Amino acid sequence: MLLRGRAPFTTGRSRFADHSPAAKDPTAKIYVRVAFEQGSEVLAQLDTGAAWSVLAPDLARALGVSAPAGYPARMRTPLGVMNGYLVRLPLTLWADEGEDLQLDGTFFVSDNWPDGMTFLGYSGLLDALRFAVDPQANDFYFGLPTESW
Amino acid sequence: MAKAIKISWEETPEDYVARVRDLVEREHVMAARRLVQEARPRFPQDPVLARWHEILSPAKLLGRSPASGVDRTPEIHWLDAHGAAYRGEWVAVSGDRLLGHSKSLQDLMALLDRNPANPRPLLHYIPD
């Protein structure tokens, strides 16, 4: 994987999709492969500009995640202010090379958010990860230092 | 970046929580973290502050395992070629095969539980 000096900087590499397949608006973005439980691999948009990660409400329902498991919150989103809840969830970042990474992160869930749209945002997820993107090869490199808060 | 708000010693856990919520809703996450860190030693038994501590924590490593990712290029090609026929639905695709589709992700996942696929499918929602 990627090294900084002789030490690992990232520990996994996966191919990312550079558009949302079959979307009417196929603008270039980064969609990485994640799973919230075994067998439920989905594409999630990497968005360093988003304060929080967002879990699609239908995916939350399918995973059995509901408001009592989280903490009520009201968030500003690109689609307006939404009421929902923040919840801590385990997820897996799949690697094609190196190591899969299992971690837990914080997601905002709102029934007002559109179905099918899951974002990996900064606080509570990306701010703990090391990651790098090779846009020529559509490669996403990732790893997680072991320091804790 | 906003700074954590210093609260006088007379304040309660509820006062802290109200300020944490305000900071979170204004996306001042680092300031909210600092405030929770300030509050927890004073109120270590407070369950609401404990939950905010968990919610505001950076992601934590739960485990590592050898790479088991599947190259999804065939699935992406299939979705680009055929996905438009399934707008408003979730689809499950493995390689260049459609395993199932439904407006309900729960129904689709139940179908997949009854008919496990190898390699595991990619689940994708195709917006209207």
Confidence of residue A77 (pLDDT cuts 50, 70, 90): confident
Nearest to A96 among B33, B62, B69 (CB): B69
The helix/strand/coil state of A52 is strand
Asked whether residue A148 carries a pLDDT value surpassing 60, the answer given is no
Tell me the per-residue pLDDT of B81-122, one tens digit each, with 9 for 90 and over: 999 999 999 999 999 999 999 999 999 999 999 988 888 899
N-term to C-term CA, chain B: 39
Tokens, residue B3:
């700074």
Residues of B in contact with A70 (CB under 8 A): 55
Tell me the residue ranges of DSSP E strands in chain A: 3-4, 7-8, 12-15, 31-35, 41-46, 53-54, 71-77, 80-93, 97-109, 119-120, 130-134, 139-143
**Of residues B27, B65, B72, nearest to A100 (C-beta):** B65
Whether B84 and chain A come into contact, CB under 8 Å, resolves to yes
Are B105 and A98 an interchain contact pair (Cβ–Cβ within 8 Å)?
no
Alpha helices in chain A (DSSP H): 57-62
| Nearest chain B alpha carbon to A96 | B69
What ipTM does the predicted assembly reach?
Answer: 0.91
Q: Is B17 on the interface with A (CB under 8 A)?
A: no
Q: What is the mean pLDDT of chain A?
A: 90
Amino acid letter, B37: Q
Cβ atoms within 10 Å of A135's Cβ, excluding its own: 11
Count Cβ atoms within 10 A of the Cβ of residue A33 and give its class: 0-12 exposed, 13-18 middle, 19 or more buried: buried
Kindly report the nearest CA distance between residue B12 and chain A, in angstroms.
19
Task: Give kind and range of the element (H or E) at residue B97.
Answer: strand B97-102
More confident residue, B4 or A61: A61
Comparing CB atoms, the residue among A38, A74, A127 nearest residue B58 is: A127
CA–CA gap between residue B28 and residue A122 (Å, rounded) = 12
B54 touches chain A (CB under 8 A): yes
The C-alpha of A107 sits at a distance from chain B's nearest C-alpha, in angstroms, of 9
Confidence of residue B7 (pLDDT cuts 50, 70, 90): low
Q: How far is CA A82 from CA A120, A125, B5, in A?
A: 17, 20, 25
Instruction: Name chain A contacts of B121, Cβ cutoff 8 Å.
Output: 39, 41
Model confidence over B51-67: pLDDT tens digits?
Answer: 999 999 999 999 999 99
Do the Cβ atoms of B105 and A62 come within 8 Å? yes
Query: Contact B52/A71, CB-based, under 8 Å?
Result: yes
